[in-house]
């Protein structure tokens, strides 16, 4: 079964809009776990507009030996002020999985992946992947649908890719996602043939997840945040998580 990892960034955005502790990130994580999710995802960004380093630590302590902990982010964003950098955080908390994403610091959200065919990307990732494997974290790399050359990722120790599903979600909303879906499916097949497992995420929702899941055999994990937290406003967090699990059965 495909693992559902709930991204809690948007709970932190709401909390940060007032300061203080509400809504409480750990309570949200606990609710998702009790509803049956298999993982929690966070994507700390240098501007700390959502999860902060102290959240990353608190979640690590809470999740240990319960569900998977997936930390996403740009490993090359410089440390600054109270932001220690992605690598410093993952060295400290040793999450189940680290998903490497090539965001620039000012991006409103992620919008592209690394490219296995680019020597510069492979060369930059090589030492990072080695270190992350040494600390015991599984390594996943965010890629665009349509990417190829995954043997080059496998050769440096990458274990999974995460397909960027934003364009698929956009095409679905526009009414015709056939081409986008076929491209995601082809990308998944290429990665699986290279020995990598396949995750997916970005703008997945209760509306578009079913078709995506049906089109990608062996999909290991989806990480979902923005839509799921929005939908939870209407039906509650636990019910919404259960709805997603039903789609993934
Ligand atoms: C890599 C990815 O697609 C997600 O982590 C997504 O970008 C969520 O990040 P934000 O919550 O900052 O939009
Ligand atoms: N990796 C994708 C993720 O964690 C959540 O993305 P979104 O559902 O917030 O777009």
Strand partners, 223: 5, 201
Architecture of domain 3-247: Alpha-Beta Barrel (3.20)
Residue 81 confidence class, pLDDT cut points 50, 70, 90: confident
- Which two tokens mark 199? 């995750």
| Ligand closest to CA 208 | 2
Q: State the pLDDT at residue 106.
A: 80
Q: Please give the Cα distance from 60 to 39 (Å, whole number).
A: 12
Known binding residue 70? Answer is: no
Q: Which ligand is nearest to the CA of 41?
A: 2
Residue 127 has pLDDT above 90, yes or no: yes
Q: What is the ipTM of this complex?
A: 0.96
225 carries a ligand binding annotation = yes
- 43 is an active site residue: yes
From the CA of 202, how far away is ligand 1's center (Å)? 6
Average of pLDDT values for 203-218?
98
Sign of CA dihedral 166, 189, 219, 40: negative
Give the CB-side neighbour count of residue 44, counting CA atoms within 13 A: 27
**Cα 146 from Cα 143, distance rounded (Å):** 9
Q: Determine if residue 115 is labeled as part of a ligand binding site.
A: no
Mean pLDDT of 96-106: 93
CB 90 within 8 A of CB 77: no
Mean pLDDT of all residues belonging to the chain: 97
pLDDT per residue over 137-153, tens digit each? Answer: 999 999 999 999 999 99
Structure tokens at 246: 């039903």
Tally Cβ neighbours within 10 Å of residue 127: 10
The pLDDT tens digits for 155-184 are 999 999 999 999 999 999 999 999 999 999
Q: Closest Cα partner for 243 from 16, 6, 25?
A: 6
For 20-75, what is each residue's pLDDT tens digit? Answer: 999 999 999 999 999 999 999 999 999 999 999 999 999 999 999 999 999 999 99
Q: Can you tell me the mean pLDDT for 124-133?
A: 98
Check residue 41 and give its pLDDT: 98
Secondary structure letter of residue 109 according to DSSP = S
How close is the Cα of 118 to the center of ligand 1, in Å? 23
**Residue 124 pLDDT class (50, 70, 90 cuts):** very high
Q: Choose the residue to mutate in 98, 204, 240, 247 for probing ligand 2, maximizing ligand atoms within 8 Å of C-beta.
A: 204
- Per cent of the chain over pLDDT 70 is 100
pTM score of the predicted model: 0.97
Q: How far does residue 191's CA lie from ligand 2's centre (Å)? A: 20
Q: Which two tokens stand for residue 162?
A: 């995460």
How far is residue 169 from each of residues 32, 61, 158, measured CA to CA in Å?
A: 23, 33, 26
| CA-101 nearest atom, ligand 1 | 1
């Amino acid at each position: 079964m495909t693992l559902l990892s709930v991204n809690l960034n948007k709970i932190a955005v709401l909390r940060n809009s007032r300061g203080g502790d509400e809504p409480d990130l750990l309570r949200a994580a606990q609710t998702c776990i009790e509803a049956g999710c298999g993982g929690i995802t966070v994507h700390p960004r240098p501007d700390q507009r959502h999860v902060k380093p102290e959240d990353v630590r608190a979640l690590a302590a809470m999740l240990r030996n319960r569900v998977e902990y997936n930390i996403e982010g740009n490993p090359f964003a410089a440390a600054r002020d109270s932001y220690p950098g992605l690598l410093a955080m993952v060295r400290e908390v040793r999450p189940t999985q680290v998903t490497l994403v090539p965001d620039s610091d000012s991006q409103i959200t992620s919008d592209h992946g690394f490219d296995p065919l680019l020597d510069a990307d492979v060369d930059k990732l090589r030492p990072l992947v080695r270190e992350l494997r040494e600390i015991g974290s599984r390594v996943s790399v965010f890629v665009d649908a349509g990417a190829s050359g995954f043997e080059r990722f496998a050769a440096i120790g990458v274990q999974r890719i995460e397909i960027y599903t934003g364009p698929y979600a956009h095409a679905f909303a526009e009414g015709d996602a056939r081409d986008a879906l076929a491209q995601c499916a082809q990308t998944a097949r290429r990665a699986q043939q290279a020995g990598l497992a396949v995750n997916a995420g970005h703008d997945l929702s209760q509306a578009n997840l079913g078709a995506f899941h049906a089109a990608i055999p062996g999909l290991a994990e989806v990480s979902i945040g923005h839509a799921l937290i929005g939908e939870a406003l209407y039906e509650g967090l636990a019910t919404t998580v259960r709805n997603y699990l039903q789609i993934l059965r």
